[in-house]
Chains A and B, each alone.
Chain A
């Protein structure tokens, strides 16, 4: 298993993502934003940070990078893609995931551990996360993480089982619609979430629940 972790100017969580991929099993390498070649890559992580300074809107510029064009093709072929935080914003901007991320309701940057209820409904890609009764403890840190989509779209993604993670009751840190913390695409191979599973892979820092998210992505391999 070979993981590719994108790196844009302004990314800041790509090293932790590499580390998490390695702990989840397999090799991992960085993919610079100007690279187009994803040959030999089995799964892609679009990491957190502030790609291209988040100019214009978070994720708006990164979407047009050569590496993201390659990721869109990769995702179109069914390749597993995980977007974390800024990576989630990039995937939404790229229309690989439904919805958008807006400024937090209270305008404050959030940095805290949150409990996530994994809500994968299918078996594909949901291998290690399909435990609605058991929360994952994962840190969230963002200023623009309020998930939003029109009501019809929210109804549709709920009906399709595309809501992958919700904040546990009372823990929604940003005003996200219907407590949504992460979503999948219709095919189930593209997953994005605001909290940071790559920061929850070592018991020394409080939680290893993040590894289950990486395991689930590895399990979505075609």
Chain B
């Protein structure tokens, strides 16, 4: 059995002001894109893990700060 490829999606928790999302949101109308709202900017980490069971702990300890960020783990090739 080989390593599992996974994607970790990290985003600011609901309710925390995300100034990067706001800046993107404000820039869109100037480019002619109307009607886009609630933009939130997060982080995407791709990795390969021999033991995918470690992933939640690894996310809580390092990849995300659970106080301010939520994370989702998804397997990339359904392995």
Contact B68 A100 (CB under 8 A): yes
| A149 partner, pick from B20, B23, B67, beta carbons under 8 A | B67
- Interface of chain A, main secondary structure: loop
Cβ-closest chain A residue relative to B45: A56
Stretch in A35-43, A102-110, A131-139 touching the partner: A102-110
| B16 partner, pick from A56, A64, A148, beta carbons under 8 A | A148
Contact B17 A175 (CB under 8 A): yes
Cβ-closest chain A residue relative to B12: A102
Q: Tell me whether A53 is interfacial, beta carbon within 8 Å.
A: no
Cβ-closest chain B residue relative to A105: B19
Contact A99 B67 (CB under 8 A): yes
Q: Tell me whether B1 is interfacial, beta carbon within 8 Å.
A: no
Q: Report the bound CA distance from A106 to B68 in whole Å.
A: 18
Interface size of B by CB at 8 A reads 11
Contacts of B22-79 to chain A: CB distance below 8 A: 23, 62-63, 65, 67-68
> Most chain-A Cβ atoms within 10 A of its Cβ — which of B12, B16, B23, B68?
B68
CB within 8 Å for A106 and B19 given contacts A100-B68, A148-B68: yes
Which chain B residues lie closer than 8 Å to A56 at the CB level? Answer: 62-63
Contact B19 A107 (CB under 8 A): yes
Contact B19 A60 (CB under 8 A): no
CB within 8 Å for A100 and B19 given contacts A56-B62, A60-B62: no
Q: Tell me whether A57 is interfacial, beta carbon within 8 Å.
A: yes
Given contacts A100-B65, A175-B17, 8 further A-B contacts (CB under 8 A): A57-B65, A60-B62, A64-B62, A102-B17, A103-B20, A104-B19, A107-B19, A150-B67
A-B contact pairs, 18 of them (CB 8 A): A57-B65, A60-B65, A64-B62, A93-B65, A99-B67, A100-B65, A100-B68, A102-B16, A103-B19, A104-B19, A105-B17, A105-B19, A106-B19, A107-B19, A107-B20, A107-B23, A148-B68, A149-B67
Please give me the 8 A-B residue pairs with the lowest Cβ-Cβ distance, nearest first.
Answer: A100-B68, A107-B19, A100-B67, A105-B19, A103-B19, A107-B23, A100-B65, A57-B65
